Structure 1
Amino acid sequence: MEPHQSGNQNCHRKSKQRQVNPITAAALTWIATTLSPTNSDNNDQDSRFEQLLSSAPKRFTIYEPLALLPTGSFASEPWASVLQTCDEAARNSLWSSILEQISKAGQGKVTHLAVNEGIPLHKDGEEAENVRRSPSGLKLLFGDFGPAGVVGEEGDEEKEPTERDFEEAFWVGTKQNGIVQTWAPRWTMFSRGNVKEKARVLGGGDRWAVDMYAGIGYFVFSYAKLGMRVLCWEINPWSVEGLRRGALANKWTVRVVQGEDLKLSMEALLASGEQIVIFLESNERAGERIQEAQARGLVRDIEHVNGGFLPTSEPVWRSAWEMTGLTEEAAWLHLHENVGVEDITSRRMSIQGMFEAWAAEDGSSGRRRRVPRVEHVEQVKTFAPGVWHCVFDVCITSSMSISSSSSISNNST
């Protein structure tokens, strides 16, 4: 804020004070009050303190009431050695001081502190894939993040959470593109980097949408904001609970289909008219359920199908193609995949060929002929050096609509 300037000639202009980074301010105070002076000369001690300050993280992200530090924060030297020699009370005084300084900086009231880490591809100590994308590497520094385990009964693969687990867990939230999203950071990942892709999804559309990997509602909520009804699939119960809470926070009606309800007919499941219906099951059943709904005259026009899974969502592409078979106007498939920067063009061509082959199969079997086209490749963010998280937008139209639009175009020329 600029200082007030008076017309009095005797008043001197005050220099604008530079705001100190809140983590730096907290670290400076903690070093001065907690670390004991060494027996070495002052120059060595000053150098050590300077190294601590310079290597402390400067950035953070607020998901109230959580402050999330970047990957690797306080893990490198000299912080690793210093914190290892401190007792828990001393470490907690640093973490609480950081939270206090961030709150004072007007970034929002924060009470919990953690360090972000990459989502492991496999379960801890196992070769099994981490299909739920559980953030088991998250480093919890300060605050009660809820129980480390769940009290639910043993499931086929791992314990399923109960209502008690959900109530005792620590939940956070944020707002992107005017949409509230909610999740439990101990159990569910949150991808901040796909905010641009979420905004792009908001660009248009109505009627029905399908999300094959719903997560906490990243793209589900973008479709819902457009007034569409959304069918979605997710196998992580923590993500489903986050999606349910987020939907209610945004004032959308939502139904979670799980347990015995999974045996009900699609007609029964859709009868109450919720805007968002999420199936807590593998998306391997999605095509079958959509086919049942369409056979009963429900969910006819599916305009968008989202496949937001990395490193590739290819296992659901054929199902996405099939479930848009009755859409009268254009249908759009948004297919996520990690692709080497030099391979993006060739991958686009191979996807085009894949869908053209399926279109030819439909034509030869007497079904309505449709025309697929990879209209656009969105490079969302870098996933690793030389690798991009890409979204291939496949537009599917009927051959009749293509002919009609061509005729109109020719007549107007």
Structure 2
Amino acid sequence: MAQDTPDEFSTSCMSFVVPKFLVKQAKSNLEKKHKLDRSVKIQPYRRDAYINACGDHMIIQSTITLPHSMSQLEEKSQALKELGLESYYDRIFVIKTHYHQASDVHQHDAQKNPLREAISKGLQQLPEELLASLCLTIERLLADLSDSYTVYPPMLLLTSKTFAAPTWQTLLASVSPCQLEDLYATVAIAFRVTHIAQNAPIPLSTGQSPDSTQRAPEQPPTDQPTTTNILRSPTGLKPLYGDFGPYPSNPSTALPFKQGLAAALWVSTRQNHILQTWAPLHTMFSRGNISEKTRLLTLPSIAAAVAEGEAAGTGSTAVDLYAGIGYFAFCYARAGVRRVLCWELNGWSVEGLRRGGKANGWGVWVVEGDEEVGERNRVSGKGEGEAVFWVWRESNEQAGERIQRLRKMVPPIRHVNCGLLPSSRGSWETAVGALDPGLGGWIHVHENIAVREIEEKAGEILEEIQGIVVGVAHEDHSSKANEPEEREAVLEHVQKVKTYAPGVMHCVLDIWIPPRITRDEGKGSCGRDFSPNCNV
């Protein structure tokens, strides 16, 4: 499309025209690279020249500047690669925007950024002599401020780099607690929130308290033993303003008490019109998974399983072996799956799933240990009716055995989600065995894979899954004279979800597992005597 002719005083910036399902991921990736132009609102793209090609798209303005000598295709390829969006090359359009006087652009952006505006007001309340004694100015501090943030009502979440500059470290180490409280209060009022926290990467081990340079509230003792952080607890999160509730006494078990549940801060966000709720001091939340959540809502294999179940009068079941607060489990329910069986070890995440399910109008039954499944356990989010989610607050090590006992009580299991990073390998055998014996189904394997090795590693994973499929088939036919039919697992798709680390991609492998028994070997379409009228 035609562009304005740049002159020697102008700077070329890039705008990205993206489909709606990619908006949050593109915005998030731009924020991580500090390339999002917050002075321009994200809005629907209405340009007539592109409307037929783009359809329902949004336009996102960036601050990415590249030499005028480069072609637009070169700019697009380089920018998408830098942002980790190269897999969407054919879905994203790029438009050049020319700004006159680049220095004016920077100043305008600084003035319009809400976080900079709020912190500027807070800094103006500090004594001038304090800043002077530290050889600091408000202008310098704002220039060194990393201004990315996210609002999860009622909390403002800053990034780990927000105050990383040496100038900010000097200031934070010098101001009094009251002065720092006043600064954060000004920011909280500006954002209409009651709490502020600073994010941090999820640590690989627990038992270490967060860095205290931010004047966070009193932390738990640091002499507790260090253990593997199997719950992915956000122990590095730094509360800066507001009462977040008591710190977890033992992050390795995450068994909340009623008093703790009531005292904790709970926040929420809505993605794809689905509300998710969590306690940020106790549970992680990854907004970068939005593209995978969106994909599940319209995934053909899920739609097919739902349609087949409705046609048979049975419905269908999905299993989430690492449910968390319902990241992916909620998507199965929204896509039409009648029941979702969940396993989650973190008690705080289970409570988040329960609250989120209720807020979305879905019934949730939390199963404790070996509690029997029966008619008395019918619950719902609103009024009477059966629960959509059955949630076991335990390791999924017993999931296979429990699922076998549930065959007669739930619709056929057609999908199993294995959503643990960096690898979900420990759940693959359970996932294959959980699928309906007479219908087969799909397992969705989450894995961190080096970008250069995706094709090779996907083949290795498929080969390992195939070995499990053969082993399960031999177990089913161990008491029979005939040999089991050869079944072949099929890798249908590899989805690149997001960049996990430099050179490493979070991938999801959709693998089809064929049925392991013929229909005349069992009762009904699923090889069991499941009755569609069995309401548990």
TM-score range, shorter chain: 0.7 to 0.9
The within-5 A match list for 1:9-408 is: 20-37=112-129, 48-102=137-191, 109-125=192-208, 126-149=225-248, 158=253, 160-203=255-298, 204-205=302-303, 206=306, 207-228=316-337, 229-258=339-368, 262-266=369-373, 273-294=386-407, 297-299=408-410, 301-328=412-439, 330-364=440-474, 366=477, 367=484, 369-398=486-515
Q: What amino acid sits opposite 2:392 in the alignment?
A: F
Q: Cα–Cα, structure 1 residues 162 and 214, in superposed 2: closer, same or farther, change >3 Å?
A: same
CA–CA distance in structure 1, aligned partners of residues 387 and 438 of structure 2: 21
Q: Cα–Cα, structure 1 residues 20 and 344, in superposed 2: closer, same or farther, change >3 Å?
A: same
CA–CA distance in structure 2, aligned partners of residues 89 and 22 of structure 1: 23
CA–CA distance in structure 2, aligned partners of residues 399 and 161 of structure 1: 41
Which secondary structure does the structure 1 equivalent of 2:433 belong to?
A: helix
CA–CA distance in structure 2, aligned partners of residues 361 and 148 of structure 1: 45
Q: What amino acid sits opposite 1:221 in the alignment?
A: F
Q: What amino acid sits opposite 1:65 in the alignment?
A: P
Is contact 1:302–1:327 with CA below 8 Å preserved after alignment?
no
Q: What amino acid sits opposite 2:241 in the alignment?
A: F
CA–CA distance in structure 2, aligned partners of residues 269 and 119 of structure 1: 39
Q: Cα–Cα, structure 1 residues 39 and 336, in superposed 2: closer, same or farther, change >3 Å?
A: closer
- Structure 1 position 76, deviation (Å): 2.5
- Structure 1 position 358, deviation (Å): 2.7
- Per-residue CA distance 1:324-366 (angstroms, 9 max, x = gap): 14151x5111111111111111111111211222333345553
Is contact 1:123–1:130 with CA below 8 Å preserved after alignment?
yes
TM-score, normalised relative to structure 2: 0.64
Q: What amino acid sits opposite 1:69 in the alignment?
A: L
CA–CA distance in structure 1, aligned partners of residues 373 and 282 of structure 2: 30
CA–CA distance in structure 1, aligned partners of residues 485 and 327 of structure 2: 33
Q: What amino acid sits opposite 1:264 in the alignment?
A: E
Q: What amino acid sits opposite 1:308 in the alignment?
A: G
CA–CA distance in structure 1, aligned partners of residues 462 and 193 of structure 2: 48
Unpaired segments ≥5 residues, structure 1: 3-16, 103-108, 402-413
Is contact 1:120–1:137 with CA below 8 Å preserved after alignment?
yes
**Structure 1 residue aligned with 2:52:** none
Q: Cα–Cα, structure 1 residues 29 and 159, in superposed 2: closer, same or farther, change >3 Å?
A: closer
Q: Indicate the percent of aligned positions where both proteins have the same amino acid.
A: 39
- Structure 1 position 73, deviation (Å): 1.6
Unpaired segments ≥5 residues, structure 2: 1-38, 41-107, 209-224, 307-315, 380-385, 478-483, 519-536
Is contact 2:245–2:263 with CA below 8 Å preserved after alignment?
yes
- The alignment's C-alpha RMSD in Å is 2.7
CA–CA distance in structure 1, aligned partners of residues 247 and 511 of structure 2: 42
**Structure 1 residue aligned with 2:78:** none
Q: What amino acid sits opposite 1:371 in the alignment?
A: E
- Structure 1 position 369, deviation (Å): 4.8
- Structure 1 position 33, deviation (Å): 2.9
CA–CA distance in structure 2, aligned partners of residues 171 and 140 of structure 1: 13
CA–CA distance in structure 2, aligned partners of residues 64 and 36 of structure 1: 33
**Structure 1 residue aligned with 2:77:** none
CA–CA distance in structure 2, aligned partners of residues 324 and 369 of structure 1: 17
Q: Cα–Cα, structure 1 residues 340 and 269, in superposed 2: closer, same or farther, change >3 Å?
A: farther
Q: What amino acid sits opposite 2:435 in the alignment?
A: T
- Structure 1 position 323, deviation (Å): 1.0
Does 232-241 or 32-41 show the bigger shift? 32-41
Question: How many equivalent pairs are there?
Answer: 368
Which secondary structure does the structure 2 equivalent of 1:37 belong to?
A: helix
Is contact 2:441–2:515 with CA below 8 Å preserved after alignment?
no
**Structure 2 residue aligned with 1:105:** none
Is contact 1:312–1:338 with CA below 8 Å preserved after alignment?
yes
